[in-house]
Each structure stands twice: as C-alpha cells, then as structure tokens.
Amino acid sequence: MNTHLDLLRQPLTPRHSILRLSALGCVLAALAGCGSDPGDEQPSSSGTGGGESPTPGASSSTSGAGGAGTGGAIPAGSGGGVTASTGSDTGAGGDMTATGSGGAPATGTGGGGGSPVRCDLPTTYRWKSGQPVINAKAPAGRTFVSAKDPTIVFFDDKYHVFATVFETTAGSDGWKSVYLNFTDFDQANSATQHYMAGWPTGSTVAPQVFYFRPHNKWYLIYQWNGRYSTNDDINNMNGWSRPQTLLRGEPGQMGNTLGALDFWVICDDDNCHLFFSRDDGKLYRSKVSIDNFPNFDGYEVVMTAPSSGLLFEASNVYKIDGSNKYLLLVEAFDNSPRFFRSWTSESLDGPWTPLADTKANPFAGPANVTFEGGKWTDDISHGELVRSGYDERMTLDPCDLRFLYQGRDPNVGGDYSRLPYKLGLLTLEK
C-alpha cells in the first residue's frame, strides 16, 4: 500500500507523458491525527467503505453535471502542462497537494450559467435536510433497492437528474441507471424514472451531465471504464450516442486499489480537467486543451491522504460565480459515516487550500446537518451541488447552496450494493 510519501515522484502511465506530474505542496495540516481502519479500502458490511466496483459482465457507467458562463450557443431544447514546484511535509497525517500553472479561469457570469457575485463562499457550513426527495422506483417487472450517485442540472425550466440504481431482478447484472425530470423538488419523487439499460448509452453509473458549448452538445460522463455519450437535446431521451472511451491509459485495478471511478469534468478558458478516484487515498486528474476535449490521455496525482478513507470518492469541482475561485469536494470517512471535505483554489491546477475539511468541521456531514421530520441517514454521501448554470464551467452561486446527496437507513446493513440508499436535499442555513 502506498503512503503519502510515495507521491513525490509518481509517474504518469508510461506512454502518456502529455501531462507532467506536479510536485506536491501545501500540507493540509488539519488532518493531523486522523486515521481509518486498515481495511477501509474495501466495501464494509455497513457500507462505510467501498463503492460501486464492477462485477463480471456488468455494463454500468458514470456521468455528471456541468455549469455555464458567458455567451456560448444555446443548447437544443430551450428557446497545459503542469509546472512542478517543491512541496513539504510538515504536519502529521496531512494531505499533500499538487501545484502548478495553468489557464486563466473563466468568469462564469451571465449567459447560460453563472451569476454576478453577491456573497462570499462560507468558511463554515450548517445544513438542513428534509426527508428523501427521490426513492428508487422500478418499472413493472423490475426491482430496485437503491437510488444513488445523482447528477443534476437545471435547464429549460426543469431539473434533469441521472442516477445510479441497483437492480435485484433475477438475471440482472446489478448496477443500472435512471433519468427523471421535474420542475421543483416537491415533484421529484412523483416524477417518472426512465430506466436506461435499453438506451444507446446502456447504464450510466455515477453519472455527470453538462452542456459543452464549443461542440453545442450535451455530454454524459460515466463508468465503467470512463466513457461518454453526447446528445443535441437533453430532452430527447433517445438522442444519446453510444459510449466512447473517455481516458486513454486509464488505470486499472491493482490488488486492493480499484480502477478509475467517479469521473468529473470541469473546464476553464483553456483546458478541460478530468478528476477521478480509485479508493486508494489519492485524487487523480487528467488534462486536455479545450480544443481537444474529450480526448483525455494520461493522468497525475492531485493530492493524497494518509488513509484511503480521507480521500475516498465522488469528487466535485465548481467555479464560484463572480470570482477566480474554485471549490473542490471529496467524499470521505474516518471510522465514521460518510462526509464531504472541501478545498479552494484560484486555478484548477492548484494548489488546493483546505476550507472545511475535517470530520468535526466538514463541508457537509453528520456534524453539521440537521433534519426536518426526523433523522433518516447518518451518511452524507455521493451527490452534487445544484449549479447556477449548465455548461462545462460548472458554475456555482455561493448565495444559493443546495446539495442533492445520497443517504440511507443506518440500521440496515449487509452487502454494500444492496444498501437502501435514497436521495435527499441539503439546503445551507443562512
């Protein structure tokens, strides 16, 4: 098992030297003293560790959502290299982050996404959650035990959600996906959930969805392996293309380290960045010029933690409206239910500075979430913030923070894949 010191000279995959590994800097001293069980790399019976690892014959995939910014074409359906710097290890248990130089950030204001800045990104967070807003709802003849890994985008006066489900119907290979849309969250649970296994995409596990303005197309990013599909109109459920490879030289499973999962794309003015995890306490990134998107090739380590649970899965990266600031979220656990840690940077190349990044002071977790109508989950797990836009810049309004997340009854244990996850909505308390 690698330690955080192993990252000082982590090479890219041999034939993909398009990206140079940044040296590591910026110790995250807030992690001092944190730790996890040695077995955290594997799914646990309680569901604290582990993720949706593929099973033989599975045809599942992942995708996510994106923001928007100034100008750009209106979607159908509506009216560089990294420069190394020297890092230091000065805190016990601290994460180390890669740093470098990159393209100038987009403003993210006006147009199809983003808003002028009205307030600053908070440094501490208090959230409230109601009861689940989306439960697994299978079509006739099928049985789903969970709804999870949501991506959400607001476009054409409605929310569009893609999510993972786990199917237990005899003969099923397990991980599948659904699509639904609704005009407000009080209608979300009654919305029709369209089963995607028969779509050209096949199932899209852990998805991300966004509109890529240079191509005038919607992109759906998903696993396994990293794949993508495109569509001219997000409202056209039959318009998605067949899967294509997202990342050349993608890392595969090595012992207890999983292959790449939970892919997330965000672009600045010059480059597109692909973040992903492997359940090994590291966060990874690939990078390509915006003109060459989505032809990602090779990868590097962004940061590492002293235990696998402290940099786990479900990374999200957003551009803060009206500023040059980016927000990075990564799901974590520390002998505990799941929570989200956070960092900020003025460049997608880093360095990343801790924001709310501990179990006691998380971005979102059991320590800072209260429930209306009774607590129904301990986990604040894989989800996505509701963006202010819909394109590749992944813009976020810090005055209106809402987080669609997965949670589950903590009293139900057993195999991870069969845990009864549902989708809830966090709203930041002012």
* pLDDT, tens digit, 9 for 90 and up, residues 117-160: 678 999 999 999 999 999 999 999 999 999 999 999 999 999 99
Q: How far apart are CA 191 and CA 293, in angstroms?
A: 33
Structure tokens of 196? 């995607």
Least confident of 1-5, 114-118, 394-398: 1-5
* Residue 185: its H or E element: none
- Quickly tell me which residue has 């799941």 as its tokens: 338
Least confident of 92-106, 399-413, 414-428: 92-106
Average per-residue pLDDT for the chain: 81
- Give the pLDDT of residue 113: 56
CA proximity to 98, closest of 310, 285, 376, 371: 285
* pLDDT, tens digit, 9 for 90 and up, residues 391-412: 999 999 999 999 999 999 999 9
pLDDT band at 112 (very low <50, low <70, confident <90, very high): low
Q: How far apart are CA 132 and CA 421, in angstroms?
A: 10
Q: How far apart are CA 5 and CA 90, in angstroms?
A: 12
pLDDT band at 305 (very low <50, low <70, confident <90, very high): very high
- Give the pLDDT of residue 75: 67
